[in-house]
Structure 1
Amino acid sequence: MGRGDLTNAEWSRLRAHLPATGRRGGRWSSHRKVINGILFRERTGVPWRDLPARFGRWKTVYERHRRWSADGTWDRILRAVQADADTEGRVDWSMVSVDSTSCRAHHHAAGARKKAPRVPKKRSTPRHHRPDEGLGRSRGGLTSKIHLAGEGGRRPLALLITPGQWGDAPQLVPVLERVRVPRPGGGHPRTRPEHLGGDKAYSSRRNRRYLRRRQIKHTIPEPKDQRANRQRRGSKGGRPTGFDKEKYKRRNEVERTINLLKGFRAVATRYDKRAYVFHGTVTVAAIRLWLRT
């Protein structure tokens, strides 16, 4: 076992959730070796072609990561390890916080085809095609933004990739809609935290109305301009928003979750051209955080 590879305990928690057969019905070979190669690239950020020979052919490692990113396998594995942790009581639902972080895109991440590739009439447009590819341009160059909801144990519950210039408030609802932790005993997956925290970037009437409708208590500070506008409108402006200072102190947990994610160099800097592949890269990092506990 090399540095950064899956430990025996981590592998035992992961192997039960891996697909048993390949695309044409044959068995996948060397799951553990290939996943260790993916984790090596996540941790170091090296080009796929520069993977050490102990992981096998670099093309095999890359294709498995790309394919599992495209068909949602990584997302299903993430939900499965979250379900295991929830069964063991290792998910802190008492406080879930939302936040975002920008990731500088390497110039290798640019140049993906903007238009969807031509496909035969009998086939539909590829489901993972995004014209923006999750890239935005700012003064510093190309950037992507990771929006995530993190639980109290400093692990991601859900994540979303957008261009770097997109705002935080419009992404609160899409991120929370992605929180779906299955229940092994059956029934609806768990989707609702006991309390939600966020900074003032998430303060909007739409977000607060959505949280009240779902009966989710929340601690989100109100910016000065919104407070002044509400007061200016008098009784039509509505009630003052509640704010719990002690609860708000726990918002640093999601910031620490982001720091753990960006400890993977392939997450801190985006090298993937396609948005769905970068989403898979961030998801693999999240899976590793859940396996470590």
Structure 2
Amino acid sequence: MERLILTDAQWAKMSPHCLGKPTDPGRSGTDNRLFIEAVLWIVRTGSPWRDLPPSFGKWNTIFRRYRDWVKADVFVRLFEACSDDPDMEYAMVDATIVKVHRHGQGAKGGPQNQAIGKSRGGMTTKILALTDALGNLVHFRLMPGQRHDSVGVPPLIDGLLFDGLIADKAFDSNAIIAELNQRGAKVVISQHSRRKQKLDIDADIYKWRHLIENFFCKLKEFKRIAMRADKTDTSFSAAIYLAAAVIHSR
């Protein structure tokens, strides 16, 4: 058997949210835990689905099941089950760019519909993430690689409550600062040199920003995320949700 990832504690949180449980109507899934381990093997190694070890089952059956779960937002629910009760005293936002493998290109509708764009590094996708005060993922958005980081912040923080926001100077935007002031949230955003009236930033709190950078480092240990090989943004998002669920509940 290939090396497995899920602990019993992680599986206890995930299992109630899987499809095909014995209590569900219709056909029951054959070992949901092994299926999730198969998906994690793909996400961790970055291998093509056809190279999935036979010990996990038939690769094409597992791939079709994966796509069914993607469409049903199951991986979102698995992430939410493992990431309950975030510490929102402070939120942190940052972005990272991942290269898109040629196997990740060619989806119907073109790259612009799959959060893929041409930037300095070639065809890339940008992962814009918001974490809690402990560096655990709360929300993320996918954007084409050439889009500016600050563009995705308003929908990312919409409806979220936090006491302050920590970010680097890429997010030094008048619109973002105005939104935070309206919320009464503390602004801990590094200032651009071109800003005429500098804000008073708490330097000690700003040092916490390394936690979101640590999260990206852990996320990119999963090779299918470090280099995107998924054609659709829904499949790529599902891989991120599953990896983040495992990272959060370690």
TM-score over 0.5 (shorter chain): yes
Partner residue in 1 for 2:234 = 276
Instruction: State how far apart, in whole Å, the 2-side matches of 1:138 and 1:192 are.
Output: 33
Partner residue in 2 for 1:11 = 11
Quote how far apart the aligned CAs of 1:33 are. 0.8
Partner residue in 2 for 1:126 = none
Quote how far apart the aligned CAs of 1:133 are. 1.0
Partner residue in 2 for 1:154 = 135
Give the letter aligned to residue 26 of structure 2. Answer: G
Root-mean-square deviation (CA), in Å?
2.1
Which of 95, 110, 117 aligns to 1:136? It is 117
- Matched residues, percent identical? 31
Quote how far apart the aligned CAs of 1:49 are. 0.7
Instruction: State how far apart, in whole Å, the 2-side matches of 1:69 and 1:212 are.
Output: 37
Matches within 5 A, 1:240-279: 240-279=198-237
Partner residue in 2 for 1:194 = 163
User: Residue 247 of structure 1 aligns to a residue in which SS?
Assistant: helix
Matches within 5 A, 1:43-58: 43-58=44-59
How many residue pairs get matched?
249
- Could you report, residue by residue, the CA deviation over 1:226-279 in whole angstroms, capped at 9, with x for unpaired residues? x23x5xxxxxxxxx5231101100011100011010110011000001111111
Q: Describe the shift of the 1:97–1:204 C-alpha distance in structure 2 as closer, same or farther (beyond 3 A).
A: same
Q: Is the 8 A contact 1:169 1:202 kept in 2?
A: yes
Q: Is the 8 A contact 1:35 1:61 kept in 2?
A: no
TM-score where L is the length of structure 2: 0.92
Which of 103, 107, 110 aligns to 2:102? It is 107
- Structure 1: unaligned runs, 5 residues or longer: 116-129, 180-190, 231-239
Higher gyration radius (CA): 1
Q: Is the 8 A contact 2:44 2:222 kept in 1?
A: yes
Instruction: State how far apart, in whole Å, the 2-side matches of 1:154 and 1:81 are.
Output: 14
Instruction: State how far apart, in whole Å, the 2-side matches of 1:210 and 1:63 are.
Output: 43
Instruction: State how far apart, in whole Å, the 2-side matches of 1:134 and 1:96 are.
Output: 24
- Structure 2: unaligned runs, 5 residues or longer: none
User: Residue 221 of structure 2 aligns to a residue in which SS?
Assistant: coil
Q: Is the 8 A contact 1:13 1:291 kept in 2?
A: no
Partner residue in 2 for 1:119 = none
Quote how far apart the aligned CAs of 1:2 are. 4.1
